Structure 1
């Protein structure tokens, strides 16, 4: 059987109208992205946030950019500073921004200029339940999501929580972009399976770029 793609060659995999996986799109620059993550962590360490319902999230998170997304007893919000320590979020690295803009353009969304990047760190067993990204002011702007480290199963559903979902494996360097008619689709990550990745060890990192304001 003819292999249409080499092992390291990126390609596009449609998910739905307005949604696509850019397979291996970030693999070549993953090492630099990871060093940037470590630099951000040194300024604002990863933390397990508490949901409005009082539950500790299994995913640890930090942010960079003009705004950061977080959750506490008051609800979900974007803010210019971390509500845990009152400090401004670290600036968004140049490579982060250029990757997000280029990936959005390749997926059909031009002029995307993210002002927030949520960085999630998954350890084995960590998950993200089905949810919508709807705290942003302009829902015409897409979401750009970059996967690094251990593979994870991504759920991509419909516009109601109970709708059926696609389950696709996201691997190191994959980038998912969704917007337009798919912007408010429910999505999530199934519990991460144990493993060791040669770059990041026993974790999966996810960079989620948004235009908050």
Structure 2
């Protein structure tokens, strides 16, 4: 039996490495909301704001411009809309007024291992802890795996009452992925972050969780 053990271990290791090559690492998710908003019955319409959520300076280098969204931003929008529709919401037709306005933003920051940011500070919707205690939440991401060039990815979503502009629900999802990993592709990363962000929607307000 012992002579076969090294081969068994090699097979197990190769399978594990193969899974790591495609899997997106765990996602840190923080959400804030007040009481369950009225009018969120199945069929409630929403409209996506074409202007990305967040500070324009923070979007520099992501390809998101004032004139036309980037393909990467479009991937995040598609992923978020899929999750919204799973909640029973319906996209409004072009030019049609909707009771809910959805704002979407993302940030992709690639840095050499020695220059990476850790921990990541989360301030949801531009006002940290909007519906919580009013203090910021520090999210530490495990950056293990050796001196690989990593991409810090962040998806931000805010759902407003279109009439008043009041934030009804907001959240951010963050993860770190090796730049050369297949999981860093926009479509895969966006789908994972959006799914994690809307897991068990609306989620516990003010709590940071890790979604595998």
What's the TM-score, normalizing by structure 1?
Answer: 0.31
Larger of the two Rg values belongs to structure? 2
Please identify which structure carries the higher strand content.
1
Structure with the larger helix share? 2
| TM-score, normalised relative to structure 2 | 0.31
